Structure 1
Amino acid sequence: MNSQRPAAVLFDMDGTLVDSEKVWDIALYELAVRAGGELSQGARHAMVGNSMANSMRILREDLGQPDRPEEPDVKWLTSRVFELFREGLVWRPGAAELLRAVKLAGMPTALVTSTGRLLVEAALDTLGRENFDVVVCGDEVTMPKPDPEPYRTAAALLGVPITECIAVEDSPTGVASALASGAVVLAVPAELELPATDGVHLRTSLVGVDPAYLTSLLISHELLQPEH
């Protein structure tokens, strides 16, 4: 059993580090209007933490336009969100401080997001490229969240065991991905409520979270594991 600090901290982006879901709100509602409809709140909630392909499928179903071509919508949405990201993103409470503390402590970090590379590059102007040792984007994996592939890919790129990593998430989709990967999960809900789940440490915000707290999560998780 390793009772040392986490081998790495793996951060989700939208809703976890930055309040970017509200940016997506603007663009998605605008896209629905362009399509001659109106996006329902239920459909918008279903998109949170999901891949672009899944989100576009939800949009088409919600608008009653199952045969609507996907590519033009993706192109328009990406361009609009890029424009909004470039205007700057607002940090979630405690997120910038935690990221800074983790880096100062010398702990490896990864950004693990369902968002595509083009938009992530724009977001990194706010987040700081120097804050992440690796970046795994939604369009760079075969199976995006809720599949565990994104988190397992990040751990592999860092050369660390996923079971010794802390994943920081905000959405049910992201939590499912992180949990299935084998990471220890810290979840801070943003847009959607998160149910209490075995193996998931729930907090109302990242304020007060520091490397010592993350280490305590890993140790408590290991203590609960059966001896082999």
Structure 2
Amino acid sequence: MLFDMDGTLVDSEKLWGIALEELAVRAGGKLSEEARLAMVGTSMPVSMAIFRDDMGQPDRPSAPDVDWIHDRVTELFAEGLVWRPGARELLLAVREAGLPTALVTSTARRLAEVALKTLGAENFDVLVCGDEVRRAKPDPEPYLTAAGLLGVPIAECVAIEDSPSGVASAVAAGARVLAVPSDVELPSHDGILLRESLAGVDVPFLAAMFS
């Protein structure tokens, strides 16, 4: 099992939105809704490129903004994360069933480790973070890396995602994909199973994705 984190297991995209809106104010502007939605599920370099373009500041240094965002989101994560509907129940059921499980996130490890205080580090055999891969989502590398570390063929894995970038990564890797949109709508297309939420999803449901 391969789980995305932000917007899939926990309702953290709103916290990223708060931090990015605050950063926009610090930059002397206002973040557009279009830019924020375009950032969902992307790597930090891509998000910051979208941010600079939206601010009309193409030469704005990225490193100070990345540091500020990481510090602010760490504070927001530490205040507590809210589970997405059905996510906690599914994760616990997967672990009870003894299935190898990975967290595959575009978020940096320092932030993922804060989130694990809510998610439970014991619920994952492998953690693949956005700052630990050469090519982030939508490239297939994060999911291929996770499957390799688990020692499970990617074709035998289910990836659960909420963003276009994450879905594209998992599909390109060759996983079975369960897509549960949060902030951004996902079009239905071949190669993914689309649901409104993880409520009611259990291990037999996941097994049926291979039949």
Instruction: Tell whether 2:140 aligns with 1:148.
Output: yes
The match for 1:71 is: 63
The match for 1:5 is: none
Encode CA deviations 1:36-58: one digit per residue, 9 max, x unaligned.
Answer: 00000000000000000000000
| Aligned-partner SS, 2:205 | helix
Segments of structure 1 that go 5 or more residues without pairing to the other structure are 1-8, 220-228
Matches within 5 A, 1:76-115: 76-115=68-107
Shift of 1:197: 1.2
Q: Distance in 2 between matches of 1:181 and 1:197?
A: 16
Match of 1:26 among 15, 18, 23: 18
Match of 2:165 among 173, 182, 188: 173
Amino acid of the structure 1 residue aligned with 2:160: V
Encode CA deviations 1:187-208: one digit per residue, 9 max, x unaligned.
Answer: 0000011001101000000000
Q: Distance in 2 between matches of 1:218 and 1:87?
A: 39
Q: Distance in 2 between matches of 1:64 and 1:154?
A: 37
Matches within 5 A, 1:160-199: 160-199=152-191
Amino acid of the structure 1 residue aligned with 2:128: V
Instruction: Tell whether 2:53 aligns with 1:61.
Output: yes
Encode CA deviations 1:153-184: one digit per residue, 9 max, x unaligned.
Answer: 00000011000000000000000000000000
Encode CA deviations 1:19-67: one digit per residue, 9 max, x unaligned.
Answer: 0000001000000000000000000000000000000000000000000
Bigger radius of gyration among the two: 1
Question: If the length of structure 1 is used for normalisation, what is the TM-score?
Answer: 0.92
Q: Distance in 1 between matches of 2:41 and 2:100?
A: 23
Q: Is the 8 A contact 1:103 1:131 kept in 2?
A: yes
Instruction: Tell whether 2:210 aligns with 1:210.
Output: no
Q: Which portions of structure 1, spanning 4 or more consecutive aligned residues, are displaced by more than 3 angstroms?
A: none
Q: How many residues align?
A: 211
Q: Distance in 2 between matches of 1:141 and 1:197?
A: 27
Question: If the length of structure 2 is used for normalisation, what is the TM-score?
Answer: 0.99
Encode CA deviations 1:98-146: one digit per residue, 9 max, x unaligned.
Answer: 0000000111100000000010010000000000000000000000000
Amino acid of the structure 2 residue aligned with 1:106: G
